[in-house]
Amino acid sequence: MSDSPIAVEQHGPELLHHFADADQQRDAATLGMWLFLATEIMFFGGMFCAYLIYRFWYYNEFAAGSRSLDIWLGTINTAVLICSSLTVALGVRAAQMGKRKLLVILLLLTIVFGFAFLGIKGVEWYGKYKEHHIPGNSFNVDDLVRDYPQLHIDPRHEQIYFSLYFAMTGLHALHMIIGVGLFVFLTYYAWKGRYTPKYYTPVEMGGLYWHFVDIVWIYLFPLLYLIDRHR
């Protein structure tokens, strides 16, 4: 490049050479992330659609399945995720202000909340395993048929509720695991001091992903846990 008439400026990650300025680069990253989240909405959307159809058909079985879940563990998990979204939002703010230590602490707190959520989810799943509520050969809902005689439960339809429950919470938990993995990377690089007030796009994008997974749970919680407690 020494014979080039134009001096080639050296760019850091805060402004790659194909962007006009830092604002444009950040807007491009944000737009790309939201496009990805749009595909994620459709990804989860297929499951929400299946849920809607089967809830419409087998309402009583869905109500009974919903009441067999632990509403308090679900509520605690919702609160845990909301707290994690707060630490993420404050983390992005810390990155904007260049507070490295605070950023690392908030990212670590987010990871702790993420593990807390997954742990509580695991406890719930284990409870369902012990109750034989996991669809498959040992699936048995005689307890629900006995407890809710007024609902006239068909075990095959009850199995559809639990299939959707495990598919939806499982896919959500997979997203949580990926999120925790992302945040481990973010924490490492934040600790290394890579993120500055001029360049914190990865923190911001990781945050968008985390908030999105939180929003999915905000809908899953009422749809799976709070269906109908009065029949």
Partner 1 sequence: MSEHIMSSKFYYTIWIALLCLTGITVAASFIDLGPFNAVVALVIATVKALLVVLFFMHVKYTSEKLTKIVIVSAIFWLFLLLALSMADYATRLWT
Site for partner 1, rule CB under 8 A: 23, 26-27, 30-31, 34-35, 37-38, 41-42, 45-46, 48-49, 52-53, 56-57, 71, 75, 78-79, 82-83, 85-86, 88-90, 93, 96-97, 204, 207-208, 211-212, 214-215, 218-219, 221-223, 225-230
For the CB of residue 212, give the shortest distance to partner 1 in the complex, in Å: 8
For the CB of residue 191, give the shortest distance to partner 1 in the complex, in Å: 21
For the CB of residue 92, give the shortest distance to partner 1 in the complex, in Å: 8
For the CB of residue 94, give the shortest distance to partner 1 in the complex, in Å: 9
Q: How many CA atoms lie within 13 A of 202 on its CB side?
A: 18
For the CB of residue 35, give the shortest distance to partner 1 in the complex, in Å: 6
Query: Which residue, 142 or 198, is less far from partner 1 as judged by CB?
Result: 198
3-state secondary structure the chain: CCCCCCCCCCCCCCCCCCCCCHHHHHHHHHHHHHHHHHHHHHHHHHHHHHHHHHHHHCHHHHHHHHHHCCHHHHHHHHHHHHHHHHHHHHHHHHHHCCCHHHHHHHHHHHHHHHHHHHHHHHHHHHHHHHCCCCCCCCCCCHHHHHHCHHHCCCHHHHHHHHHHHHHHHHHHHHHHHHHHHHHHHHHHHHHHCCCECCECHHHHHHHHHHHHHHHHHHHHHHHHHCCCCCC
For the CB of residue 83, give the shortest distance to partner 1 in the complex, in Å: 7
Query: Which residue, 30 or 163, is less far from partner 1 as judged by CB?
Result: 30
Query: Which residue, 48 or 125, is less far from partner 1 as judged by CB?
Result: 48
Query: Which residue, 114 or 134, is less far from partner 1 as judged by CB?
Result: 114
First to last CA, the chain: 77
Query: Which residue, 101 or 129, is less far from partner 1 as judged by CB?
Result: 101
Query: Which residue, 30 or 140, is less far from partner 1 as judged by CB?
Result: 30
